[in-house]
Amino acid sequence: MRVVPAQEILDKIERGEPVEYDHVIVKGDLDLGKLDLPKRRVKRTPDEIRWGRSENSIVVSSLIKLTDSTINGIMYFNNTIFDNIINFGGSSFNGDAYFRGSSFGSYAYFNDSSFNGTAFFLKSSFNRYAKFWNSSFNGYANFWNSSFNGGVYFGGSTFYLTANFGESSFKGYSNFTRSSFNGYSNFTRSSFHSAAVFNESHFYGNADFPRAYFADNADFRPSTFYSTANFRDSNFTCDVGFNGSSFNGQAFFMDSTFNISHFYSSTFNQLASFNNARFDRIADFNSAQFKDDARFEGANFDGTLYLKWAKYDRLYIRWGKSKSWNTTILHTSPFLRTSRSWAISKITTHFITSTGCCIASKIGASGITS
């Protein structure tokens, strides 16, 4: 592989010329802050002012295509507006890559890339497609508070340490299909305004999605959570699918809101808590397995709860403060055992399980004792 000095690339960027290299080794640091480039005034949030973001961003007009290459130095591309296509497909970043507060006005390609140091993309904006297909993040991957305004693709990628997408906004289709999160994954307060696809993904560390907002369908079928899965106080406004997923750590869905939820054939190996959750339409737990406590205390079911062929030892469903006691309950499967004391919160339609045998009654706050 031919060795290209970093300064050669920087000179082309400063002159506004295209940067096009394939299968080369870049020697030295790529620091845009040392160049005489035009500036553009940007609006800053109070938080950005606190962490020292400049009110003037560097503007890079060059097309940058550095594919299937090895970059041995550090990349300083902070606070930069890229007006043209950026393509680092198949490249390896052996030093830290800093894109903090940067804006990608055109397509950004990082597919099949390896980030062997820290990848800093926090507070960045991707205004067209951003592709990170099959990429490896071997250090800390920081996308905190970033905006993905076009489609974003992380399918098949591996995050070996922390993956931080907290407080990020996904305006377009977001794809994390078959991704592996080997460390902590943070999606706290993130918002997904189009379909979010995490199907067949593996979360080896704690997976945090508290207060996440899903405006479109969310697909986690069939993913595996090896540690704690935290979806507390999240809002799923359309369909959400966890069909066939495995929760090997504790699963927290307390205070969350569901429209149509599918947990068909899911396995909960530790505590599963849906306390105070709200199920507006369908709650499908058919063939689900709860190997520890299943808690639905204070949950509201305004649609149908399906438990056909579900397996559990202790299912806790207690009355909330609702004054409506109009409840229809169907017998549980002969393969199931309920806890001694259980009751239903607010169910305005009915319980469906496997036997089809119906009991209709009005229940007080003390519930039904089996």
pLDDT tens-place string over residues 126-162:
999 999 999 999 999 999 999 999 999 999 999 999 9
**Per-residue confidence (pLDDT) for residue 332, from 0 to 100:** 42
For residues 118 and 122, what is the distance between their CA atoms, to the nearest angstrom?
11
35-43: which pairs have CB atoms within 8 A and are 24 or more residues apart? 35/10, 37/13, 40/81, 42/81, 42/103
Residue 116 has pLDDT above 80, yes or no: yes
Going by pLDDT thresholds of 50, 70 and 90, the confidence category of residue 365 is very low
Q: What does the pLDDT read at residue 63?
A: 97
Backbone dihedral region for residue 244 (phi beyond 0: left; psi -120 to 50: alpha; all else: beta): left
How high is the pLDDT of residue 343? 37
Task: Specify the pLDDT at position 10.
Answer: 98
Q: What is the pLDDT of residue 196?
A: 98
Task: Please tell me the predicted confidence (pLDDT) of residue 238.
Answer: 96
Q: Which long-range contacts (CB under 8 A, 24 or more apart) does 249-257 make?
A: 249/206, 249/225, 251/225, 252/228, 253/277, 256/231, 256/232
Cut 0.85: pTM above it: yes
**pLDDT at residue 367 above 90?**
no
pLDDT at 203: 98
Give residue limits of the domains in the chain.
2-369
Q: Residue 107: is its pLDDT beyond 50? A: yes
What confidence tens digit (pLDDT) does each residue in 232-255 have? 999 999 999 999 999 999 999 999
Q: Which of 269-278, 324-333, 347-356 has the lowest mean pLDDT?
A: 324-333
Q: Summarize the chain as % helix, strand, coil (round to 5).
A: 5, 40, 55
What is the distance between the alpha carbons of residues 132 and 116, in angstroms, rounded to a whole number?
A: 15
Give the chain's mean pLDDT.
Answer: 86
Percentage of the chain with pLDDT > 90? Answer: 77
With contact defined as beta carbons under 8 Å apart, do 207 and 232 qualify? no
Confidence of residue 271 (pLDDT cuts 50, 70, 90): very high
- 273 Cβ contact partners less than 8 Å away, ≥ 6 residues apart: 250, 251, 252, 253, 254, 293, 295
95: pLDDT confidence band, cut at 50, 70 and 90? very high
- Which among 172, 207, 171, 174 has a CA at the least distance from the CA of 188? 207
- Three-state DSSP at 33 gives helix
Could you tell me which of 123, 177, 170 has the C-alpha nearest to residue 150?
A: 170
Report pLDDT for 239. 97
pLDDT of residue 41: 82
Asked whether residue 284 carries a pLDDT value surpassing 80, the answer given is yes
Across the range 83-100, mean pLDDT stands at 97
Note the pLDDT tens digit of each residue in 50-68: 666 667 899 999 999 999 9
pLDDT value for 55? 74
